[in-house]
Amino acid sequence: MIIEVDLLPGSRRPRGGGPLPATGTGRFGWVGRGRGLDPGLALLLAVWLAASAAAAILWLAQRSEAAALQTRLREAAADSARLAGIRTITDSIAAQVAEIQGRVALVEQLDGDRFVWPRIMDQLSRALPQSAWLVSIRQLSPAPDVSIEVRGVAASPIAITEFAQALEASEHLSGVKIAGSQKQSLDAGEIARQDFALTVGFDKGGQRRRTARANGTPD
């Protein structure tokens, strides 16, 4: 005796051992009879389409950003080349300025105190009053900060003061100080005389005088 077990609900093998009836799954086996697309497969298809669209949008955005970055890179390269040219010109100008300054310094060094003493003597002669005369001139310090000691004789203390004020007002002399003053002992009938000594500094180009005026201090 043979017992048959039906494992497919709703399907019956016809009596007599004939073939099973068709299930209606369609050509591809995922379309049921009268039911359309399977919901799970439809959800999978929608997810795939959405992912493809998102990937396409992302690719387009990255491509646009890459194009913008390429444009900015070209602009940056152009700016770098322009700045490099400007820097080359600036370095050339700085080198020329340094060369000129070196030449000026060399000329000043060679010149040294070449015109110091002519200027000192000229200023002394211009400032000396008629009632005074010089006895000696002695250098106290070397160039560039030359200072001298001037000794002379004047007819009165007023002449000494006038001489000191005139030296202080001159263009290339400054720091005038009266180092000493003494009245000479005279015999009867001689004219009164006053010995004096001054210390004077040489001001090349009037630099110290301009600095004092800029600081608001008297010359």
Q: What is the pLDDT of residues 186-217, one digit of tens each?
A: 665 566 788 999 999 988 765 555 455 455 55
Lowest mean pLDDT among 53-62, 80-89, 108-117, 126-135: 108-117
Average confidence (pLDDT) over 34-57: 79
Share of the chain above pLDDT 70, in %: 70
Q: How confident is the model at residue 30 (pLDDT cuts 50, 70, 90)?
A: very low
Task: Report the chain's mean pLDDT, rounded to a whole number.
Answer: 77
Q: How confident is the model over 15-27, as a mean pLDDT?
A: 49
Q: Residues with Cβ < 8 Å from 196, sequence gap 6 or more?
A: 132, 151, 152, 153, 154, 160, 163, 178, 180, 181, 182
- What pLDDT, on a 0 to 100 scale, did the predictor assign at position 81? 85
Q: How confident is the model at residue 115 (pLDDT cuts 50, 70, 90)?
A: confident
Instruction: Say what the pLDDT of residue 16 is.
Output: 52
Percent of the chain with pLDDT over 90: 22
Q: What is the pLDDT of residue 22?
A: 47
- Mean pLDDT (whole number) for 79-91: 87
Judge whether residue 149 has pLDDT over 90.
yes
At 53, the pLDDT band (50, 70, 90 cuts) reads confident
Place 66 in a pLDDT band, splitting at 50, 70 and 90.
Answer: confident
Amino acid 29: pLDDT:
47
Identify the residue with better confidence: 39 or 25: 39
User: pLDDT tier at 32 (50, 70, 90 boundaries)?
Assistant: very low
Whether residue 15 has pLDDT greater than 70: no
Residues in the chain: 219
Comparison of pLDDT for 219 and 71, the residue scoring more:
71
